[in-house]
Amino acid sequence: MARARSLHVCQSCGAQATKWSGQCAECGEWNTLVEMAARAPGAAGGAASGGRRGGAGWVPGQDAPGIQDLGAIEAAHETRVPTGMGELDRVLGGGLVAGSVVLIGGDPGVGKSTLLLQVLASLRAIGGDPLYVSGEESARQVALRAQRLGLDARGLHMLPETNLERILELAARDRPSALVIDSIQTLWSAAIESAPGSVSQVRECGAALVRFAKGGGTPVFLVGHVTKEGALAGPRVLEHMVDTVLYFEAEANRRYRVVRAVKNRFGAANELGLFAMTDRGLRAVSNPSAIFLSRHGPTVPGSLVTVTREGTRPLLLELQALVDDSALANPRRVTVGLDPNRLAMLLAVVNRHAGVATQGMDVYVNVVGGVRISETAADLPVLAAVLSSLRNRPLEAEVVVFGEVGLAGEIRPVPNGLERLAEAAKHGFRRAVVPRDNRPKSPPDGIEVVGVERLAEALDLL
């Protein structure tokens, strides 16, 4: 009798190898290769084949679509269904799209299940018929959570199940208006000879659910676990298959939660939504700028407000800097919410082009509120806050600053300058120092806009 052939599959990236080795040749992770029985081609056709016949929109029992004329296809504007939570609708691009697949990940206890249970209750209230599939909790546990949150759970269907074929059978029969899978790592398919949560199971179960959503038009939410590094667990191909990837973030011991879109086929990526965790669940925060701004009594050195942009929303944030003498041979350069390499570059620029030396001094920069800034508009306010702390001279309380700093000491413009100025004026700021090319001909009412071209000019002005 012929011996069954086996493969070794990486549990981190899904790469396959004919023999075991200590390190995966594709992703470089150690001790992640697990031996699995190789399947014959087409053996896992059916539910978990990953849409190999005809693509993600093909469902069993239908003929696979042939080649089509793209120009002849009617590309109507997609209809969106509001989730009942304005901040989540903003992150999704305006609401749920029929047939979309949303993958949401976050640390344990951050509120993923709470958020989705509230969303399904809102969809039920407007006449929908959603289905909540839980592979981690019993029906009693989910009912207790709904009661604790004060939700009207009448008519909200719940299925405690982990078998993929059983879930797809019931979902195909009832055709729910929305489907939540909590979580994708708990599902298993009988066509795959591996444990739930393995790369093969997650990949094939995810592909089957994507095919179900595209074939029937049901929006699907997939809850995903995260690794200790904060990345979504399982194969990276799962993030490529879905339409939207959301990360649910929260700082330790803080009541605010941030939902960030890192991929969105139906809206802007890097969009941000803010929620507050209460005893009645998550509540949307419609004006996050007012939360992240901390108004001091007297002005203090090293504190400055800037206007960053998250997705389509301008956001006012407070930057704090502390410069102090260092007792170390290599002074510290510590950042929270900013790229430390960019801080080192900015300190070199201010030393060369503005004559401000920070050698022999520790420099600490913090973004208040736990938000991370990845755009270059924070360059100029970071240097202004550093200089304010170094000179021990506070800046004006009602001034806002933004602008990119180049290596030659020039101040470069940033996108959407007028929207940033309008947000600052709305919150009572009376003066703005911005790149000269961002200075509008007609600034918003109530705010004086000063344009600068060189770094030394901006620092002298501030």
State the Rg of the chain over Cα.
Answer: 26
- What does the CA dihedral 272, 276, 277, 279 come to, rounded to 10 degrees? -150
Residue 54 has pLDDT above 80, yes or no: no
Q: What is the Cα–Cα distance from 151 to 73, expressed in whole angstroms?
A: 42
Q: Say if 364 falls within a structural domain.
A: yes
Q: State mean pLDDT over 134-144.
A: 93
Nearest to 116 by CA among 132, 101, 105, 135: 132
pLDDT digits (tens, 9 = 90+) for 394-450: 988 889 999 999 999 999 999 999 999 999 999 889 999 999 999 998 989 999 999
Residue 28 pLDDT class (50, 70, 90 cuts): confident
Q: What is the Cα–Cα distance from 89 to 107, expressed in whole angstroms?
A: 22
CATH number at residue 353: 3.30.230.10
Same domain, residue pair 414 and 276: no
CATH number at residue 242: 3.40.50.300
Burial grade of 231 (CB within 10 A; 0-12, 13-18, 19 or more): middle
Same domain, residue pair 89 and 20: no
Instruction: State residue 3's pLDDT score.
Output: 53
Q: Say if 135 falls within a structural domain.
A: yes
Stated pTM of the model: 0.78
Q: Say if 346 falls within a structural domain.
A: yes
Q: Say if 54 falls within a structural domain.
A: no
Cα end-to-end span (Å), the chain:
83
DSSP E strand stretches across 268-360: 272-278, 281-284, 303-310, 313-325, 333-336
The whole domain housing 198 covers 81-286
Same domain, residue pair 265 and 401: no
Strand partners, 325: 361
Burial grade of 30 (CB within 10 A; 0-12, 13-18, 19 or more): exposed
Q: Say if 45 falls within a structural domain.
A: no
Q: Say if 18 falls within a structural domain.
A: yes
4, 12 Cβ separation under 8 angstroms: no
- Looking at the 3D structure of the chain, how many domains does it have? 3
Rounded to 5 degrees, what are φ and ψ at 291?
A: -80, -40
Give DSSP secondary structure letters for 323-354.
Answer: EEE--SSS--EEEESS-HHHHHHHHHHHHHHH
Residue 192 has pLDDT above 90, yes or no: no
Q: Say if 50 falls within a structural domain.
A: no
**What is the total residue count of the chain?**
462
